[in-house]
Amino acid sequence: MQREEMPVNVLFVGGGPANLAGAIRLMDLITGHNEAIEAGSKQGEAIQEPTIALLEKGSGIGSHQLSGAVLDPLALDELIPDWRTRDDFPLERMVERDEMVFLTGTGAIKAPWVPAEMHNHGKPIISLGLFCKWLAGIAEAKGVMMLPSFSGVDLLWDGDAVRGVRTGDKGVGPDGQPLDNFEPGMDLTAPITILGEGTRGHLSRKLIERRGLDKGRNPMAYEVGCKEIIELPAGSVTQGFAIHGLGYPLDMQTFGGWFCYSMAGDKACIGLLVACDAKDPMMDCHHLLQKLKTHPYIRKLLAGGKVVKYGAKTVTIGGWGSVPQLYTDGAMLVGDSASFLNPFRIKGIHLSMKSGMLAAEAAFEALVRGEASAAVLKRYQDALDASWVRQEMEFSKNFHAGFEGGIISGMIKTGLAYFFGPGSTIKPFSADFEHMKTLKAYYASGAQIEEKLEYDGKYIVDKLTDVFLSGTTHDEHQPAHLKIADTEVCATTCKEQFGNPCTKFCPAQVYNMVPNDETGRLEMRVDFSNCVHCKTCDIRDPYQQITWVPPQAGGGPEYGQM
Ligand code: SF4
């Protein structure tokens, strides 16, 4: 098949905060370099008409972005120092009330003391989707070529050096055969490819595996989070609040927590995060979020509220020990794809942005030298090791490992590490999926007693209603982008041992066990068009037989203000 080839100088894959910050930084460096040469204050050659491209699988920049989010503006201050005075900055509110709360079954205990690292007072509450859209506008104005509705499906190689990315074909039928509207993907070739695809990046995983970039590191670890935007009665939100909480509805074996932030107008958002290493095979983050909203403290906070938007995603919580080698010949890894999140603060946007900016500095150096070997791109790793990113992440390097023995021991270990330091070594932990217990081992009776919630379709909503509110669509005339190696395992071993956990942990009800028309046996049906691209199935499936691959680009959620 003849594929169009499009050569560019630097290719960013993924339109999240890491790559957008990187693209802006790179354009600033190139402009500064060219101006200095023209003014005669710098020796060397100008970088003539550079082509810097950014691929995004969503229909627009920001449409797949989801986070809390209270932004630590550390990296933004470096990148766009005047953001506070810009009229177009997409601010929801500034935090004026900052609290940490522990929920018991019916009560709430406000933490008397919160570590300084977790203070949010005076920080901006943002919608990550709108923030990315804003960054994209700035990058585009500086000359970055934005390519939304294009997904990277494969890496292009020159020996062991990355030489770009192949984008997905469009117009392929469910059987994999081309339809009348078939359009082959193109080969975007570049001496430097920067992968910032978010958590469990499809290409990032291929790169890490082929080049052994995770050798000697802990596996990446994740939490799945579900978030809703709640519309509240007119005039009820009068200040910017950021409330973080622990306890109900999670038990003392399951790591996670919740947040509730006010947003612009009369809106607030609420989210719950649960570790993907939860032992309970029936862990269902969406169900737990609805349960959280039934708590009297939350009911009072969100009184009269109506869910207007929903989304789900995974975040990386492995910390510094899970960060892979960040460079190889022709490529670098940034953002969530490289585990840049501080699990102690549950903050990662600032770390991701800084990683993108430092990768951009290495890319600039490579452009000037005309060489993008691993030896040149190692500059990124060195700069990151010397930066505040490493300093911040090193401090919480054993946070995740500390919780392997449960919540109480995790909190004690975290407290000791906070006051006496995290120790000199990185403690090992195993992959999330290895922690799931069988139904028999987790439930004394061998089966979960289904907990019923009263859905009112307004404040307590079922999963499918929430999927509708996420704006998710996929053209159904395409191959399923969730590949199950052997569906017989679903109907037999997995059903008996774990009770088909994917039917619970998937926050978009993609996986359903339905009776076979002829035999009546329960078998797996994959409703891939519901998928919100959170990757939980790829991470948490106990048999590791589900693989998420990019669907036809342009599909997926439409998160807007999320
Ligand atoms: Fe997330 Fe997988 Fe469900 Fe898609 S199918 S929403 S990636 S768990």
Q: Whose CA is nearest to atom 7 of ligand 1?
A: 535
H or E stretch at 523? strand 522-526
Q: What are phi and psi of 333, to 5 degrees?
A: -115, 135
Confirm if 245 and 289 have CB atoms less than 8 A apart.
no
Tokens of 482: 């969730």
What distance in Å separates the CA atoms of residue 460 and residue 187, rounded to the nearest whole number? 46
What would the two tokens of residue 79 be? Answer: 């990148």
The Cα–Cα gap between 41 and 47 comes to 15
The pLDDT value given to residue 451:
85
Separation CA 124–CA 121 (nearest Å) = 9
Cα torsion angle, 306, 312, 317, 320, sign: negative
**Å from CA of 548 to ligand 1 middle:** 8
Quick one: how far is CA 207 from the chain centroid? Answer: 18
534 CB within 6 A, ligand 1:
yes
pLDDT at 2: 85
From CA 138, how far away is CA 536, in angstroms rounded? Answer: 32
Backbone φ and ψ for 166, nearest 5 degrees, come out as: -95, 130
One digit per residue, the tens of pLDDT, for the chain of length 562 reads 789 999 999 999 999 999 999 999 999 999 999 999 999 999 999 999 999 999 999 999 999 999 989 999 999 999 999 999 999 999 999 999 999 999 999 999 999 999 999 999 999 999 999 999 999 999 999 999 999 999 999 999 999 999 999 999 999 999 999 999 999 999 999 999 999 999 999 999 999 999 999 999 999 999 999 999 999 999 999 999 999 999 999 998 899 999 999 999 999 999 999 999 999 999 999 999 999 999 999 999 999 999 999 999 999 999 999 999 999 999 999 999 999 999 999 999 999 999 999 999 999 999 999 999 999 999 999 999 999 999 999 999 999 999 988 889 999 999 999 999 999 999 999 999 999 999 999 998 777 777 889 999 999 999 999 999 999 999 999 999 999 999 999 999 999 999 999 999 999 999 999 999 999 999 999 999 999 999 999 999 999 999 999 999 999 999 999 9
Cα–Cα dist 340/320, whole Å = 8
Please count the CA atoms within 13 angstroms of the CA of 227 that sit on its side-chain side.
26
- Per-residue model confidence (pLDDT) at position 318: 97
DSSP 8-state symbol, 336 = G
Nearest CA to ligand 1 atom 3: 506
What are the helix (H) ranges across 101-161?
A: 128-141
HSE, CB side, 13 Å, CA atoms: give it for residue 372.
26
* Cis before 249? omega within 30: yes
Instruction: Specify the ligand 1 atom closest to the Cα of 536.
Output: 8
pLDDT for the residue 419? 93
What is the C-alpha to C-alpha distance for residues 205 and 452, in angstroms, rounded to an integer? 38
- Residue whose CA lies nearest to ligand 1 atom number 1: 534
Ligand 1 contact via 10 beta carbon (within 6 Å): no
pTM: 0.97
DSSP 283-333: --HHHHHHHHHTSHHHHHHTTT-EEEEEEEEEEE---GGG----EETTEEE
Cβ contact 193:11 at 8 Å: yes
Could you tell which of 199, 283, 533, 547 is best to mutate to test the pocket of ligand 1, judged by most ligand atoms within 8 Å of the CB?
533
pLDDT the model gives residue 405: 85
Query: Among residues 545, 515, 512, which one has the least CA distance to residue 529?
Result: 512
- Three-class SS state of 74: helix
Q: Which atom of ligand 1 is nearest to the CA of 540?
A: 8
Return the ∠ at Cα 555 (arms to 550 and 559), rounded to 5°: 110
Classified as helix, coil or strand, 439 is helix
Domains of the chain in start order, with CATH, are: 12-43+50-68+133-217+324-389 (3.50.50.60)
Token pair recorded at residue 562: 């999320």
- β-strand pairing of 152-158 with 161-167: antiparallel
What DSSP line would sit under 383-436, residue for residue? HHHTSHHHHHHHHTTTHHHHGGG-HHHHHHHHHHHHHH---SSPPP---GGGGP
Q: Give the distance (Å) from ligand 1 centre to CA of residue 510.
A: 7
State if residue 276 touches ligand 1 by the CB under 6 angstroms criterion: no
Count of all residues that appear for the chain in the document: 562
d(CA 235, CA 100): 24
- HEC string for 49-116: CCCEEEEECCCCCCCCCCCCCECCCHHHHHHCCCHHHCCCCCEEEECCEEEEEEECCCCEEECCCCCH
Instruction: Give the integer Cα–Cα distance in Å for 351 and 433.
Output: 26
Nearest to 351 by CA among 66, 73, 125: 73
Q: Is 536 in the pocket of ligand 1 (CB under 6 A)?
A: yes
Q: Using the 8-state DSSP alphabet, how is residue 220 labeled? A: P
- 3-class DSSP string for 172-198: ECCCCCEEEEEECCCEEECCEEEECCC
Amino acid at 506: C
β-bridge partners, 414: none
CA 274 / ligand 1 centre spacing (Å): 15
CA distance 398 to 26: 33
Q: Is the dihedral of CA 227, 233, 238, 243 positive or negative?
A: negative
